Structure 1
Amino acid sequence: MSAPLVPLTVIKGAGHELIQLPKGENAITADFHSTRTKTDSSPAHITSGFYKIEAGPQRPAHYTYEETKYILAGQIDILDEATGITHHLVPGDFAFFYVGSKVKFSTKSHGLAFYAVTRPFRSPHVNLLEREDGKAKL
């Protein structure tokens, strides 16, 4: 007996151009989709969204979950505190952060990345809410 088919979720117009930085901040994470996986062996959350940063102070992060970032535009500098190496990421570059990773994000101009993380939805951006197919008002 096979499992029933499940329809996919489509996010209409979840474009990064809709993401505005909070007043007085130079970086933001903007979750736009999250789900609890149905994987039998190790169910977990998976959440995806955009990370945007502009020139300003370094943004520290100490990871308690896994995350991937794929650079879409600009440049994002990541200081890996475990090695002391600063990685200069540009469009097409990819980074993986393990539980226990400790980094500082910065940029000389601006940067934009798509991310996927193993944590629940936490920081919705007002311009990305209600954009699922069937709800989108485009």
Structure 2
Amino acid sequence: MDGGSGLNILYVDTLDAMGIDRECLRPSGAPFHSIVPGKQAIPLGQINLPVTFGDSSNFRTETLTFEVVGFKGAYHAILGRLCYAKFMAIPNYTYHKLMMPGPRGVITVGSTTDVPNEAPNSNCKMGSFEPTKDIKEVPLDPWGG
């Protein structure tokens, strides 16, 4: 997710791993900047690919145009503002979530890299608003007014 990017970028290694022939690429517009610091990036070409978010009970598929680049990146692809607009998605960078409307309600896509396997304290439920054992009441107005 890169809401600052005006492009959807796909790395050529990802294209190859998907088994898509590079001859499927069509010529791209022009070089772009800010992907590789201090250098312009010249795309190998563009490709339209279907992208699906959600699960079998609630999903959406849209066709996105990707600029395919011939250098390595930390990700398989970068989804920019064009993706957000097409899916009507709202990113939440704090929680690493992407939310969008689906045919049966909101589709939420989240990162699995930041979710712990189990709660740090097995007596507490994650995401619970239940009070712990020792609660101390604190007055909101310390002057009693």
Same fold (TM over 0.5): no
TM-score when normalising by structure 1: 0.23
Greater share of residues in helix: 2
Name the larger-Rg structure. 2
TM-score when normalising by structure 2: 0.22
| Higher RCO (C-alpha under 8 Å, 6+ residues apart) | 1
Greater share of residues in strand: 1
